[in-house]
């Protein structure tokens, strides 16, 4: 059995019971170094397979190969393994290699939900997720989605908003959004959700300081009704209050 | 202190540790009858305030009023309380009534993530959430979002896809999507996720039998690259496998 387990955004408190049970039930745990540290307590005595950044295919292939020998294996991912995570890659590899292997995806709290909770309640109306990484999606496709989502007034959650290799994507995305959304539209920034250095910033499209944003940040841009009250970002659901 | 707690989609296994801790730490638990049953074990001996369907404002107001007396109160919600849930309403009421009350939102696994996990990995590329309930969002706004999301080839998660009062919204939504998405586009239906009668159906826009869909169902429409392998719905992330 191969489990693909989402750990939630931060420490063990944001993990689900079934995620913990899945890890406990496995002989082998496969994951990126950073995430392995988050579950250290649960993995003592187990076979650990750590790989570095950008070695996703290698990592998933190893997990499949070990599971094919009959072992119970858990591949761990931050957030939800099914959101830009390892679940898809595992299933793609199994499909293309025509392997017969039982896989169970254990969902977790993805970064947007974790970030939204500490920002207030920005996701109370229709919202979308867009990754600003063009490593695997062509930039024109990302731009098209930014245009469409902004024009239809979705709340927008940006994954992979800014990195050293892509320092200008966030600014480009905000410029596109500004064509449809007011520059005073509320923007919430949640950094390192669930970790000790967790940080929240509530700002606007116009005033956002993009140098505060890195790869462990989630950026949530409100819709036209999103407002700030007592430091909290709130998107109304539509109730008359 | 007022906690707004997302329980995850199903039983206690999909609840996070901090959600359980929050409930345990409270004297009073407020929620919709059905959800109260899911956490019965955790709430023994506590003050329970149950309200019925469509009494959201009343329920949140009661929770606020009790918390204002100094008690620790948890408002519980299925899925994630911040996604079309109670978190926003709580914060809106506190804001409009200018109350001073500490609120903590505890995120949970929302229905789309829970559904995606049992369907396979449909949310591996950009995706959005649209509620088909027009009780609080005008139908033309919903239609506009359906057009925009389909044209930009988002994976689309439909919340509140169909109810007795809105039997035709799902068909209308699929008709709009068909203007941009191929009729053979993969559609995943996840019913009663995490509960004993959990059910998964993988079909297409064209072949979807809408009578299988009700209010405890999440419907996920793929993008142009989404495929089915061994009964699982997979949206490629873009890796070369």
List of chain B residues whose C-beta atoms are within 8 Å of the C-beta of residue A152? 144-145, 147-149
Backbone φ, ψ for residue A99 (5° rounding): -85, 150
CA distance A133 to A215: 10
Q: Which residues contact A76 (CB under 8 A, 6 or more apart)?
A: A5, A7, A23, A29, A30, A31, A35, A36, A39
| Segment B207-222, tens digit of pLDDT | 999 999 998 999 999 9
What CATH code would you report for B2-109? 3.40.1010.10
CA B79 remoteness from chain centre: 5
For residue B103, what pLDDT is reported? 97
Domain ranges of chain A: 2-109, 112-234
In this predicted structure, what is the pLDDT of residue A124? 98
Tokens matching residue A159: 């994954």
Determine the pLDDT at residue B37: 84
Which residues from A are below 8 Å from B87, CB to CB? 117, 120-121, 124
Size of interface A-B (CB pairs under 8 A): 246
Please state, in angstroms and rounded to a whole number, the distance separating the CA atoms of residues A210 and B197.
Answer: 47
Contact at CB, A113 and B107, closer than 8 angstroms: yes
Of A121, A130, A144, nearest to B82 by CB-CB distance is A121
Q: Which CATH architecture has domain A112-234?
A: 2-Layer Sandwich (3.30)
DSSP B90: H
Question: Considering only CB atoms, which chain B residues are within 8 Å of A17?
Answer: 12-17, 20
Residues A76 and A3: their CA atoms lie apart, in Å, by: 8
Choice between B144 and B241, residue whose per-residue pLDDT is larger: B144
Residues B205, B221 contacting (CB under 8 angstroms): yes
Reported as a single tens digit per residue, the pLDDT across B12-69 is 899 999 999 999 999 999 998 888 888 889 999 999 998 877 788 999 999 999 999 9
Residues composing chain A: 241
| C-alpha to C-alpha distances, B86 to A13, A90, A123, B89, B207, nearest whole angstrom | 21, 35, 11, 5, 35
- Do A110 and B113 make contact, defined as CB atoms within 8 angstroms? yes
Asked if the interface predicted TM-score (ipTM) of this complex is over 0.85, the answer is yes
Which of B31, B21, B61, B29 minimizes the C-alpha distance to B47?
Answer: B29
């Amino acid at each position: 059995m191969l489990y693909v387990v989402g750990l939630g955004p931060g420490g063990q408190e944001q993990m689900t019971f079934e995620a913990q049970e899945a890890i406990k039930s496995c002989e082998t745990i496969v994951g990126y170094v950073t995430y392995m540290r988050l579950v250290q307590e649960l993995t003592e005595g187990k076979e650990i397979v750590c790989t570095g950044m950008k070695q996703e295919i290698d990592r998933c292939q190893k997990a499949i190969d070990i599971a094919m020998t009959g072992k119970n294996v858990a591949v761990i991912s931050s957030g939800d393994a099914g959101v830009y995570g390892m679940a898809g890659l595992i299933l793609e590899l199994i499909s293309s290699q025509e392997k017969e292997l039982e896989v169970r995806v254990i969902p977790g709290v993805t970064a947007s939900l974790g970030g939204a909770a500490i920002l207030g309640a920005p996701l109370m109306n229709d919202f979308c997720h867009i990754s600003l990484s063009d490593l695997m999606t062509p930039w024109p496709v990302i731009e098209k989605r930014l245009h469409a989502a902004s024009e239809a007034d979705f709340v927008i959650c940006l994954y992979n908003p800014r990195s050293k290799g892509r320092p200008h994507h966030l600014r480009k995305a905000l410029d596109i959004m500004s064509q449809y959304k007011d520059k005073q539209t509320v923007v919430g920034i949640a950094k390192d959700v669930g970790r000790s250095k967790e940080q929240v910033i509530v700002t606007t499209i116009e005033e956002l300081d993009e140098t505060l944003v890195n790869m462990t940040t989630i950026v949530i841009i409100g819709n036209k009704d999103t407002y700030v009250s007592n430091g909290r970002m709130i998107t109304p659901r539509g109730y008359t209050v």
